[in-house]
Structure 1
Amino acid sequence: MDIEKIRTLIELMEEKDLVNLEIKTGEDSVSLTRHYNTPMPSMMASSPAYISEPQAEAVHMGSVETSPMVGVFYAAPSPNDPPFVTPGQKVQAGDTLGIIEAMKIMNPLEATQSGIIDAILVENGDVVQFGQPVIRYRS
């Protein structure tokens, strides 16, 4: 991959405010990660008080499914369809819990374990971050 293509990818990352980008073309591949120079205030970095309420609950109650990527969470296959899961529903490992859209690609969020859904910790259409708790199981 030539340097001009890489520069174009960097410009795309800046334009779309992307943090990570991986491209594979034949045997060529490139992985780019953006690091921001803005320092995080030390209080926010060390204090658990800044964890949002649903995330704080997820840390203390039951196991959770976390987002494997940055993207938009969708609870249903389309706006007119019922959600994949609801609180109180029993799921098996491998069941689809929702969809995370990243770069116009719909990626299923699958259960990594069997259990009963306690809560959906994000709203339909919310942007989720890598590692963010999305679904909490009953403990």
Structure 2
Amino acid sequence: MKPEELKIYADFMKEYELEYLEVKKGDFHLILSKKGTEIIERKITEDRPVVDINKIVEESKQTTQELENIVYVKSPLVGTFYRAPSPTSPPFVELGQKVKKGDVLCIIEAMKVMNEIKSDYDGIVKEILVENGKPVEFGQVLFIILKE
């Protein structure tokens, strides 16, 4: 994982005043903790070196301009997250894909109503934080987009 990717998670923790954050994506597992003053990054099959969260936070201050272009797309309601309009259709967006303002990013089903979630900005999809078919909460971050 690149330092700039870790900065995104460190900034997310800072923005929401979290003491602990754990991210699992496939065979990748990341744990961030303010109390322990360290970040342990590892794949399930191999250990990685320990990274100092204070160093990451300090580096993130240096790239404020870049980070100001990061947008967190949040769920406007409680429901079920779907990346595609149907199980056989391709996803609305993929990681790294350019999106325009108004492009559909996903659907959230609530009470049998399909609600399209659209991008408010032109940019690039940097992270997709929810798995297809999983429940989401109001205000939960679904996507991270880098504004262009």
TM-score bucket of the superposed structures, by smaller chain: 0.5 to 0.7
Match of 2:118 in 1: 110
Out of 56, 71, 79, the position equivalent to 1:71 is 79
CA distance in structure 2 between the partners assigned to 1:89 and 1:47 by the alignment: 29
The RMSD of aligned alpha carbons is 2.6
Higher-RCO chain (CA-CA 8 Å, sequence separation at least 6): 1
* CA shift in 2, pair 1:50/1:85, >3 Å: same
Match of 2:133 in 1: 125
Match of 1:49 in 2: 19
TM-score (normalizing by structure 2)? 0.55
Out of 89, 103, 107, the position equivalent to 1:81 is 89
TM-score (normalizing by structure 1)? 0.58
**Displacement of 1:48 after TM fit?**
1.2
**Displacement of 1:47 after TM fit?**
6.5
Q: Which amino acid aligns with 1:100?
A: I
**Displacement of 1:50 after TM fit?**
3.9
Which runs of 5 or more residues in structure 1 are unaligned?
Answer: 1-45
4+ runs deviating over 4 angstroms: none
Q: Which amino acid aligns with 2:121?
A: Q
Q: Which amino acid aligns with 1:49?
A: E
CA distance in structure 1 between the partners assigned to 2:75 and 2:84 by the alignment: 16
Match of 2:108 in 1: 100
CA distance in structure 2 between the partners assigned to 1:91 and 1:127 by the alignment: 24
Match of 1:37 in 2: none
CA distance in structure 2 between the partners assigned to 1:105 and 1:51 by the alignment: 32
Structure of greater Rg: 1
CA distance in structure 1 between the partners assigned to 2:88 and 2:128 by the alignment: 19
CA offsets per residue over residues 82-106 of structure 1, 9 Å max, x none? 0000011111111100000000000
Q: Which amino acid aligns with 1:48?
A: L
Partner-residue secondary structure (3-state), 1:63: strand
Name the % identity: 46
CA offsets per residue over residues 38-76 of structure 1, 9 Å max, x none? xxxxxxxx971344437x99xx86211100000000000
Aligned length: 91
Which runs of 5 or more residues in structure 2 are unaligned?
Answer: 1-15, 25-30, 33-59, 61-66
